[in-house]
Amino acid sequence: MSFKEEINRRKTFGIVSHPDAGKTTLTEKLLLFGGAIQEAGAVKSNKIKKTATSDFMEIEKQRGISVATSVMGFEYKGMKINILDTPGHKDFAEDTYRTLTAVDSVIVVIDVAKGVEEQTEKLVEVCRMRNTPIIVFINKMDREGKEAFDLLDEVEQKLNLSVLPMSWPVGMGRRFQGVYNLHERKLVLFRAHGKQEDSIEITDLNSEELDKQVGDAAAKELREEVKLIREVYPEFEREDYLEAVVSPVFFGSAINNFGIKEMLDVFVDIAPTPLPRQTEEREVDPFEKNMTGFVFKIHANMDPRHRDRIAFMRICSGTFERNTNYLHVRQGKKMKFPNPTTFMASKKSVVDEAYPGDVVGLYDSGNFKIGDTMTEGEELHFKGIPSFSPEQFRYVDNADPMKQKQLQKGLVQLMDEGVAQLFTKEINNRKIIGTVGALQFEVIQYRLKHEYGASCRYEPVHLHKACWVSCDDAVAMREFEKRRKKDLAKDKDGNLVFLAESAWMLKMAQDNHPEVQFHFTSEF
């Protein structure tokens, strides 16, 4: 297969949802279709149970699962499909945001009874920032839930997406009978817990067979609804989807394997192949000969005796080859990888080659940070892997004077992995950890102890937000720095950060220093 064909058959995407909407179940069904796994239950949920706040075994187990499920690849209809796993727990939202920088499209799973939930809103917002094409899957149609038209409205309003139904449910809950494929004008009927193969197909909605199969009332309703949809919604245009202007919507039941094939078949047809990506210097096209890639996720080994980590790199252009020297741009040094791994469902294997859209796992002894770029020599820096403004803060102090070095090293490595963000205050050099969720504080303390033998102590610090600041006017900036010295800190890369004690303080600072810009992500 030619290099070009390899790229054109790759589809790299992520599934996002509020916890419990059915992400794991859907992932598993997709892998079953692809033959990557043989039986249900093979994919472990990467969920942290609600009771797990102080259950560290659960977190450790979790990390084990998330290594195994970081990338799940499978083949379907000649396509190589890569699913990138995203944690659903809100405290790990930053992990999810970063993973979304490495995909070319997403599928959003929504629970028909719960509708659009908080976490879904946040994640879709991140997708929209990046114009990522989105397909929506409304799950659990075998349960009573919201009316389909109402749900479409809710999705449009809360997620700010223009939707276009591509399949349509016949009833729901106990009355759920199947989905009509609006695209192919074909009805597939659901036989409870039956396999897709047992289903009955009807291609002509006007045929009496429909009444016979689903009953007069349901048949009448379906005919009316389909007519209405055809009047209200325009024909599907792939361009609109690729430009993230329109989101196709499918209905189904993941656990019953219903409506999934309809979606997957359309997905492999329409989903984008690896897209060009922006660097600070220029746009990189996947078809370029030279290899480029960036690290979007780092996993520490869970065995404290082996301090190596796996850095997950998305290939953006060229062919990645095993045992070949590449330039680690930030460190300005050449590195080669004897054992790069890819993941086919839960199976890990060493790869000789990987193509744009693929993700390789690189064993690393502490060289990588999130966002690092690898090339064949060109000085490029991939953009779009920002840190997000954290919302929870604590002072971190050393609790064991004999272990200062270990603490320092542990903190730096955990921050490189992207577990949290570290800020150093300008006036007194005190260190503040900022996170998106509260769980991270406990994770950090636990991992410092177990992996680095260091102890840390937290002290409360009353902060509302940390924002990066910039200003074109050097004089105004100096004035700002002078007046706000006590609220300023540096992030891990030495960028200036304003620590706002309250929303009001932030607003005051913005009003008093109109020349200064306040940014809520580290890339601006």
Residues that bind ligand GDP (CB under 6 A): 17, 19-25, 45, 47, 88, 139-140, 142-143, 253-256
Q: At what angle do helices 148-159 and 118-129 cross, to 10 degrees?
A: 60
Identify the CA nearest to 389 among candidates 126, 102, 44.
126
Cβ at position 46, least distance to ligand GDP in Å: 7
Helix (H, G, I), strand (E, B) or coil at 12: strand
Nearer to ligand GDP, 17 or 247 (CB): 17
Cβ at position 256, least distance to ligand GDP in Å: 6
Nearer to ligand GDP, 120 or 132 (CB): 120
3-state SS, one letter per residue, for 26-80: HHHHHHHHCCCCCCCCCCCCCCCCHHHHHCHHHHHHHHHHHHHCCEEEEEECCEE
Residue 505 to residue 518: CA distance in whole angstroms: 13
Cβ at position 302, least distance to ligand GDP in Å: 22
Cβ at position 138, least distance to ligand GDP in Å: 10
Cβ at position 430, least distance to ligand GDP in Å: 38
Nearer to ligand GDP, 111 or 491 (CB): 111
Identify the CA nearest to 112 among candidates 157, 173, 163, 189.
173
Nearer to ligand GDP, 85 or 491 (CB): 85
Nearer to ligand GDP, 52 or 242 (CB): 52
Tell me, what amino acid is at 50? K
Cβ at position 213, least distance to ligand GDP in Å: 22
Q: Which residue has the tokens 């796993």?
A: 85
Q: At what angle do helices 23-33 and 260-270 cross, to 10 degrees?
A: 70
Nearer to ligand GDP, 58 or 209 (CB): 58
Bridge pairing between strands 309-317 and 292-300: antiparallel
Cβ at position 140, least distance to ligand GDP in Å: 4
Residue 411 to residue 409: CA distance in whole angstroms: 5
Nearer to ligand GDP, 22 or 356 (CB): 22
Nearer to ligand GDP, 143 or 381 (CB): 143
What does each C-alpha distance from 16 to 26, 110, 136, 164, 474 come to in angstroms?
Answer: 11, 9, 10, 19, 42
Identify the CA nearest to 106 among candidates 283, 272, 311.
272
Q: Is 349 exposed, middle or buried (0-12, 13-18, 19+ CB in 10 A)?
A: exposed
Cβ at position 53, least distance to ligand GDP in Å: 17
Nearer to ligand GDP, 53 or 510 (CB): 53
Q: Is 199 exposed, middle or buried (0-12, 13-18, 19+ CB in 10 A)?
A: middle
Nearer to ligand GDP, 71 or 469 (CB): 71
Nearer to ligand GDP, 255 or 302 (CB): 255
Cβ at position 96, least distance to ligand GDP in Å: 12
Q: Within 10 A of 381 (CB to CB), how many other CB atoms are there?
A: 16
Residue 35 to residue 506: CA distance in whole angstroms: 53
Half-sphere exposure of 305 (CA within 13 A, CB side): 0
Half-sphere exposure of 499 (CA within 13 A, CB side): 26
Cβ at position 141, least distance to ligand GDP in Å: 7
Cβ at position 252, least distance to ligand GDP in Å: 7
